[in-house]
Amino acid sequence: MKNPKKHWTDQHSAALAHVKSGLAVIDNVTGYVKAGAGKPSTKERALFAAAIVFAYGVWENYVEQLAIELCKQLSNEILADLVPSEVRKILEKKNAWELTISPGWRNLWCDLVNEKAVGGDSDKFGMNTARAGSVRYLLSLAGVQDPFQGIDDNIVPAHLDPKLYKVTSALDELVTLRGEIVHTGKVPDSLSKGHVSNWRNYVEKLISEVDSASLKQCKALL
């Protein structure tokens, strides 16, 4: 006798399944850097920078795809009166035909999330940066009250200043670091292979925890 198929809220997201390959790229990049102490070479520092930018990219892409996925799944099952209030406020601006006939409130909801995540028309670019506040807002549109709920601060990179020793503060610091590298073309002198490894592991753990928290909160709406 076959085991009954688990409900989607009792599994990992499809977005999570694509994270492993992205993390592998970071591992391959840092694999070219020698282990041990000593000042890194210019080429090694460039690899550190690339790894940080890629680690952020893995996180941002995960969040965008998670929001789209959750909305698609949730909109197929949720009762209309349980749709998140933030979404209801936006959809209420639509006319009766759009809400009930074409394209219908479920499709309008998913279009909204897709637009906020990855953009739509030429003047709509989706989520600007995946800072904690932006992530909270995007996922709130997909039915998640707080994606960081219950996540232990012990996943924060150990090298960070104690005042940043909080999951969301660490995330914003990663976004800032990535921005510094991308917008100035410079690599911070303090960035080391150990720091890069810490960030890579942080992103992996953060994604895993956010995935669990988000699916749990979606389940509560059904």
Residue 51 lies in a domain: yes
Structural domain count, the chain: 1
Let me know if residue 149 belongs to a domain.
Answer: yes
Per residue in 73-108, pLDDT tens? 999 999 999 999 999 999 999 999 999 999 999 999
- Write the pLDDT tens digit of every residue in 117-138: 998 765 567 888 999 999 999 9
Residue 123 in any domain: the answer is: yes
pLDDT tens-digit series, residues 149-207: 999 999 999 999 999 999 999 999 999 999 999 999 999 988 999 999 999 999 999 99
Q: Has residue 130 been placed in a domain? A: yes
Domain of residue 52: give its range.
Answer: 16-31+39-219
- Mean pLDDT for the chain overall: 93
pLDDT band at 47 (very low <50, low <70, confident <90, very high): very high
For the chain, give the secondary structure using H, E and C. CCCCCCCHHHCCCHHHHCHHHHHHHHHHHHCCCCCCCCCCCHHHHHHHHHHHHHHHHHHHHHHHHHHHHHHHHHHHHCCHHHCCHHHHHHHCCCCHHHHHCCCCHHHHHHHHHHHHHHCCCCCCCCCCCCCHHHHHHHHHCCCCCCCCCCCCHHHCCCCCCHHHCCHHHHHHHHHHHHHHHHHHCCCCCCCCHHHHHHHHHHHHHHHHHHHHHHHHHHHCCC
3 found inside a domain:
no
State the pLDDT at residue 127: 87
Residue at 2 is within a domain? no
Q: How confident is the model at residue 36 (pLDDT cuts 50, 70, 90)?
A: low
Residue 9 within a domain: no
> pTM of the predicted model, to two decimals?
0.94
